[in-house]
Structure 1
Amino acid sequence: MKTKVIMVRHGETEWNVLCKFLGSVDIPLNEKGRRQAGYAKEALKDEKIDVIYSSPMKRALETGEIIRGNRPLPILEDDGLREICCGKWEGLTGKEVEERYPVQISLWGNHPEKIKIEGGDTFQEVSDRITETFWRIVDSNRGRTILITSHMICLTLLMMRFIGTDISEIWEAKPIGNAALNIVEVTDDDIAEIVSWSDDSFVPEEDRKGSALVAGRHDAGKESDI
Structure 2
Amino acid sequence: MDKKIFLVRHGQIDYGSEKRYIGITDLPLSNAGIRQATRLQEYFSRIEIEKAYTSPLKRCLQTAEILLEGSNTQKVILDDLKEINMGEWENQTIDYIKDHFRELYEKRGVSIDEFIPPGGESFEQLQKRVIPAFEFIAQNNTGNTLIISHAGVNRVILSKLFDFPLKELFKISQPYGCINELSWDIASRRWQWDQKNTKS
TM-score, normalisation: structure 1? 0.82
Partner of 1:174: 172
SS of match in other structure, 2:146: strand
Gaps spanning 5+ residues in structure 2: where? none
Deviations 1:77-125 (A, max 9, x none): 0011110000000111111111111122123223212311111011111
Letter in 2 for 1:70: G
- Structure 1 residues 1-226: aligned runs within 5 Å: 2-15=2-15, 17-141=17-141, 143-171=142-170, 173-187=171-185, 191-197=189-195, 199-200=196-197, 202-203=198-199, 207=200
Q: Which 4+ stretches in 1 moved above 4 angstroms? A: 187-190
1:190 is displaced (CA, Å) by 9.5
Q: Is the 8 A contact 2:185 2:192 kept in 1?
A: no
Q: Is the 8 A contact 2:8 2:178 kept in 1?
A: yes
- Structure 1 pair 17–178 and aligned structure 2 pair: CA distance change class (3 A): farther
1:17 is displaced (CA, Å) by 4.8
Q: Is the 8 A contact 1:13 1:30 kept in 2?
A: yes
Percentage of matched positions with identical amino acids = 23
TM-score, normalisation: structure 2? 0.92
Whole-Å separation in 2 of the counterparts to 1:100 and 1:166: 29
Cα RMSD after superposing both structures:
1.8
Whole-Å separation in 1 of the counterparts to 2:36 and 2:108: 28
Whole-Å separation in 1 of the counterparts to 2:71 and 2:108: 41
Gaps spanning 5+ residues in structure 1: where? 208-226
Q: Is the 8 A contact 2:114 2:124 kept in 1?
A: no
Letter in 2 for 1:77: I
- Structure 1 pair 113–192 and aligned structure 2 pair: CA distance change class (3 A): same
SS of match in other structure, 1:195: strand
SS of match in other structure, 1:15: coil
Whole-Å separation in 1 of the counterparts to 2:116 and 2:78: 24
Partner of 1:215: none
Q: Is the 8 A contact 2:9 2:150 kept in 1?
A: yes
After alignment, is 36-45 or 82-91 more displaced? 36-45
Letter in 2 for 1:22: I
